[in-house]
Structure 1
Amino acid sequence: MTSPLALREKAETQAARLPALLARAEQLAGAVLLGDHGRRRAGMGDDFWQYRPAQLGDSLRMIDHRRSAMGDVQFVREREWQIAQSVMLWVDQGAAMRFASGDALPTKAERARVLGLAVAILLIRGGERVGLTGTRLPPRRGNPQILRLAEMFSEDAEDDYAPPEHRAMIPHARAVFISDFMGDIADVRTALTKAADRGVRGVLLHVLDPAEEAFPFRGRTVFQSMGGTIEHETLKASELKDRYLERLAARKAELQHLCSVAGWQYGLHHTETPAQAGLLWLWRALDGGAGRA
């Protein structure tokens, strides 16, 4: 049982992270909004969006007679798309995500959390409901929800690898999974299968440290998991490189295959690249776009 003192220290540590995480996410979301005009589109909402010339197939009820009376062309008054959808996030909080190969690089967890929170900020400000997969935080709108998300993203799991949470998937909603996906691939397969069964479509962002792509190790090396549960020592680390890179390539291919079958989009993001690139990919992928993160 955790002592009150240890619990207080843990709570204070997590609370200290919130302002920095929120500030980075707010700054990142603001940068993307400056370069991208969001998710506005014509639809069945109530807010005015734009006038456009009437086209073949438009009903007479769509004509704005006051605007059309100003000239010889009939105009349609389009309204903003306001059908808020639910978006569920899963950001890996396992110990393996706390790895960074250099002091100048963020950990995978830091990058995943700021990307997850930043995309939540963009979605909530666009009028959509955002929450976590599972039952802890159902999708809601508003700034208080951003604070709740920041608080929960600041938690750390003890296990090396955290399986994707797939409970309480809302039918026909959307989802975002962000992880290094170094754990059991069967857990990812189960989560995406259950999501597809419920008509949930989403995006999977694969976050890796540059050392995990290059495997720059030589000579005597001790490999230890961030949680301390796995350890392997070798005198010739370079001899493991080819086998490691083959397994990494196979893992990427499997993730891409699972996404293709489930109707999801797969993106790869490296922690040495700007966070803005990852967020922009997420933002556009949720809107049906594609590309590299």
Structure 2
Amino acid sequence: MSDPLSLRAKSETEAAALPALLARAEHLAGAVLLGAHGRRRAGSGDDFWQYRPAQIGDSRRAIDHRRSGMGDTEFVREREWQIAQSVMLWVDQSASMRFTSSDAVPQKIDRARVLALALAILLNRGGERVGLTGTALPPRAGRPQILSLAAMFCKDDDADYAPPEHRAMIPHARAVFISDFMGDIDGVRTALTKAADRGVRGALCHVLDPSEEAFPFTGRTIFQSMGGTLSHETLKANDLKERYLERLAERKAELQSLCALTGWQYGLHHTNSTAQAGLLWLYGALDARAVAA
């Protein structure tokens, strides 16, 4: 059982971070032009959508006699239905995401949280339901949901690495995974495969610190995981650079291949680039999936 005093201290720390996260996300969302994200489908509505040939089961009243009179085929006049789409978010909050190479760039988790919450704000403004993958926070619309998301994003995971949460995927919805994807690739493969099986499409945002791309280490160096469970000491760190960069390139290629196979979009975001650039990519990636659906 947790110590009440330490639990209270941790809760107060998380609560103190929430207003700042929310303010930054709202500011970021305000810098992005709002677009329409609802997926267009035939259904009940006021606007004309399209003509289609009549099918077995259509009522005689659904036949558009004026259009059908132009030829030998009977046509049905369909109307447009703008539905609110559900978008599920997963933000990696494991220890590896708390890495930063300098005070000049944010931690990976800080950037991931701001991007996810700003995206949720934009989608909510567009009338869409937003929530988390899994069962903790199902997609809903409204300001209270944004506050709940902000609170959930302020919680850290003690594990070194975390696989994407793929439970409770809503069929034919959309999803966003944001992580450094430094852990076991099998977890990512399982999540994307299960998502694809349920018709879920989305965007995978790969967040990296600039030093993780450059590997600027030389001489005696101790490499240690952020969670402290892994450690490696070397006297010639520069000898590891080529192998490390090869492994990183392989991981990027694996992620890109998984996305291509499952109909997702892959994007690479560096913490020394602007948060607005990352948000614009995420917003556009979801919109592209809606158009393709």
Q: 1:235 offset after TM fit, Å?
A: 0.6
Which aligned pairs between 1:1-293 and structure 2 lie closer than 5 A?
A: 1-33=1-33, 37-39=35-37, 82-288=82-288
Q: 1:81 offset after TM fit, Å?
A: 6.1
Q: 1:22 offset after TM fit, Å?
A: 0.2
Structure 2 Cα separation of the partners of residues 204 and 222 of structure 1: 31
Per-residue displacement from partner, 1:142-165 (whole Å, max 9, x unpaired)? 000000000000000000101110
Conserved in 2, the CA contact under 8 Å of 1:94 and 1:160? yes
Conserved in 1, the CA contact under 8 Å of 2:35 and 2:126? no
Question: Aligned AA for 2:89?
Answer: L
Conserved in 1, the CA contact under 8 Å of 2:85 and 2:173? yes
Conserved in 2, the CA contact under 8 Å of 1:40 and 1:81? no
Structure 1 Cα separation of the partners of residues 90 and 51 of structure 2: 44
> What is the aligned partner in structure 1 of residue 70 from structure 2?
none
Per-residue displacement from partner, 1:99-141 (whole Å, max 9, x unpaired)? 0000011000000000001101111111111110001101100
Residues 23 and 81 of structure 1: is their aligned pair in 2 closer, same or farther, counting only changes over 3 Å?
A: farther
Conserved in 2, the CA contact under 8 Å of 1:40 and 1:80? no
Name the SS of the counterpart of 1:130 in structure 2: strand
Structure 2 Cα separation of the partners of residues 152 and 183 of structure 1: 22
Q: 1:2 offset after TM fit, Å?
A: 1.2
Q: 1:45 offset after TM fit, Å?
A: 8.8
Structure 1 Cα separation of the partners of residues 5 and 199 of structure 2: 45
Question: Aligned AA for 1:172?
Answer: H
Percentage of identical aligned residues: 73
Structure 1 Cα separation of the partners of residues 43 and 14 of structure 2: 40
Conserved in 1, the CA contact under 8 Å of 2:163 and 2:183? yes
Residues 81 and 154 of structure 1: is their aligned pair in 2 closer, same or farther, counting only changes over 3 Å?
A: farther
Q: What are the ranges of 5 or more consecutive residues in structure 2 without an aligned counterpart?
A: 53-62, 66-78
Conserved in 1, the CA contact under 8 Å of 2:38 and 2:83? no
Question: Aligned AA for 1:157?
Answer: D
Structure 1 Cα separation of the partners of residues 41 and 193 of structure 2: 31
Structure 1 Cα separation of the partners of residues 197 and 43 of structure 2: 29
Conserved in 1, the CA contact under 8 Å of 2:38 and 2:85? no
Q: 1:46 offset after TM fit, Å?
A: 8.9
Conserved in 2, the CA contact under 8 Å of 1:119 and 1:282? yes
Structure 2 Cα separation of the partners of residues 252 and 40 of structure 1: 31
Structure 2 Cα separation of the partners of residues 140 and 172 of structure 1: 16
Structure 2 Cα separation of the partners of residues 175 and 40 of structure 1: 14
Residues 9 and 190 of structure 1: is their aligned pair in 2 closer, same or farther, counting only changes over 3 Å?
A: same
| Residues paired across the two proteins, number | 271
Per-residue displacement from partner, 1:183-236 (whole Å, max 9, x unpaired)? 000000000010011111111000000000000000011111110111111110
- Runs of 4 or more consecutive aligned structure 1 residues displaced over 3 Å after TM superposition: 36-49
Question: Aligned AA for 2:252?
Answer: K
Per-residue displacement from partner, 1:222-279 (whole Å, max 9, x unpaired)? 1111101111111100000000000000000000000011110000000000000000
* Aligned CA-pair RMSD: 2.7
Structure 2 Cα separation of the partners of residues 266 and 287 of structure 1: 14
